[in-house]
Amino acid sequence: MLKTKYLQDVMSGWRHDFHLHPELGFDEHRTAAKVAELLNDFGVSVHRGIGRTGVVGILENGKSGRSIGLRADMDALPIEETGTCSYSSRQEGVMHACGHDGHTSMLLGAAKYLAETKDFEGRVVFIFQPNEEHGLGAPAMLEAGLFERFDVDDVYGIHNLPGMPVGSFAMRTGPITASESLFEIKINAQGGHAALPHMGVDAILVGTEIVQSLQTIVSRKLNPSLNGVVSVTEFITDGRRNVLPGTATLRGDARALSPEVNETIEARMRQIVKGICIAHGVSAEVKYNTAFPSVINKAVPVHAAQQAAVEIVGEKAVESDCEPKLFSEDFAHFANKRPGCFVLLGNGTQGANGKPLHASDYDFNDEVLPVGSSFWVQLVEQELSKKVI
């Protein structure tokens, strides 16, 4: 049962406004102001500036002492929109290409409904987070004392997923999204004349060997039952038409579904680079920065999310043990601090709603708004039931 169906047009209006006026991470000033204004209108206590542009809403009823955290992300992406919707971005080079406009609107819809009905006993913490795309928003809110000021027993997040039917949910216990680590390898060799390669050490040759060998980390160094990805995405040298380069910089991206696999990838990468450089008599520096940890869902909140989703859309539309995804999410930082569950919500399979996330012609599906917001409401009423003593 879609409890917030009557709010669909209202939520669509909010979303279209957010879509018209997208803002990048930590620049969500207009978005945060609108969120705060709406929460205040609903009768929700508002706290701004939590993690720079983050907003937290507090709604309490009764004195049970139990608390639940619900998180939505607010930031857009530096992408020029090519879609043709009537509410296309008015901000040049910026658009909501990941659906955060929809995530924010769904949580606002749930806040409005819960503030009107108050059919729960406890406290709901509505977390409107900035800068998810760069993985900086969740750490910023935590550093600002999010859970010290507004503690929660469990925390939940939702992300839409194109390719999944509208009205479907997917979740799992354990890792559901991958860590993302950015690496940089700087090779210091000896440049020289292209006609006299024996008098120097070609940095391109060394770099090429490293690129090829890095692919053996996943194929030969990881247990085949474990997932990992190592991708070199940049190869930059100081070479010219007839000049062999003396330096080369390799940059790339590594994904893993567990801290152990991520540590293995980093260790093997450093070994490979060191060994190849020793063989060629050159040196190299390796930087490996894990920007996003893996989201690890805990069993108890996953079970709660599954129950709520089944109540909303039925058992056949809920996958409770989905395959993990290799994209990354900074909700991981929240789930590392409190028992958490990250849920995937179908955005549809047709037209702009079925386009990949981060595509310039992607669009969040307004039909999903009452599904996601009703899920939030059901989860709160279920977990903070007045019947529980």
The pLDDT profile of the chain, 389 residues, written as one tens digit per residue, is 899 999 999 999 999 999 999 999 999 999 999 999 999 999 999 999 999 999 999 999 998 999 999 999 999 999 999 999 999 999 999 999 999 999 999 999 999 999 999 999 999 999 999 999 999 999 999 999 999 999 999 999 999 999 999 989 999 999 999 999 999 999 999 998 899 899 889 999 999 999 999 999 999 999 988 889 999 999 999 999 999 999 999 999 999 999 999 999 999 999 999 999 999 999 999 999 999 999 999 999 999 999 999 999 999 999 999 999 999 999 999 999 999 999 999 999 999 899 999 999 999 999 999 999 999 999 999 999 976 54
Residues 152 and 183 in one domain: no
Q: Is 209 a catalytic residue?
A: no
Whole-number Å distance between alpha carbons of 128 and 141: 10
Specify whether the CB–CB gap between 25 and 330 falls below 8 A.
no
Instruction: Decide which of 257, 292, 327 is a domain's last residue.
Output: 292
Specify whether the CB–CB gap between 132 and 157 falls below 8 A.
no
Residues 223 and 312 in one domain: no
Whole-number Å distance between alpha carbons of 220 and 297: 28
pLDDT of amino acid 217: 97
Q: For residue 230, is it within any domain?
A: yes
Residues 167 and 195 in one domain: no
Q: For residue 88, is it within any domain?
A: yes
Whole-number Å distance between alpha carbons of 271 and 217: 10
pLDDT of amino acid 225: 87
Domain hosting 216: range is: 179-292
Whole-number Å distance between alpha carbons of 184 and 85: 39
Q: Is 119 a catalytic residue?
A: no
- Sequence-distant (6+) residues with CB within 8 A of 162 are 347, 348, 349, 353, 354, 355, 356, 357, 362
Q: For residue 388, is it within any domain?
A: no
Indicate which residue of 23, 132, 133, 383 is catalytic.
Answer: 132
Closest CA to 188 of 252, 271, 246, 273: 246
Strands (E) located in the chain = 45-48, 55-61, 67-73, 122-129, 154-162, 169-170, 174-177, 179-188, 192-193, 228-237, 243-244, 247-256, 283-292, 295-297, 318-319, 340-348
Residues 329 and 273 in one domain: no
Domain count of the chain?
Answer: 2
Number of H helices, E strands in the chain: 10, 16
Q: For residue 326, is it within any domain?
A: yes
pLDDT digits (tens, 9 = 90+) for 199-243: 889 999 999 999 999 999 999 999 988 889 999 999 999 999 999
CATH (domain of 230):
3.30.70.360
pLDDT digits (tens, 9 = 90+) for 60-114: 999 899 999 999 999 999 999 999 999 999 999 999 999 999 999 999 999 999 9
CATH (domain of 100):
3.40.630.10
pLDDT of amino acid 389: 46
Q: Long-range contact list for 88-94, CB < 8 A, 24+ apart?
A: 88/19, 88/20, 89/19, 89/20, 89/21, 89/22, 90/20, 90/21, 91/21, 91/22, 91/23, 94/22, 94/23, 94/24
DSSP state of 153: S
pLDDT of amino acid 298: 98
Indicate which residue of 23, 28, 75, 330 is catalytic.
Answer: 75
Instruction: Decide which of 269, 292, 315 is a domain's last residue.
Output: 292
Whole-number Å distance between alpha carbons of 149 and 292: 24
Q: For residue 389, is it within any domain?
A: no
Residues 80 and 94 in one domain: yes
Residues 307 and 171 in one domain: yes
Residues 54 and 19 in one domain: yes
pLDDT of amino acid 386: 73
Only one residue has tokens 């279209």, namely 16
DSSP state of 323: P
**Phi and psi, residue 182, nearest 5°:** -100, 130
∠ CA(305), CA(307), CA(310), 5° rounding? 105
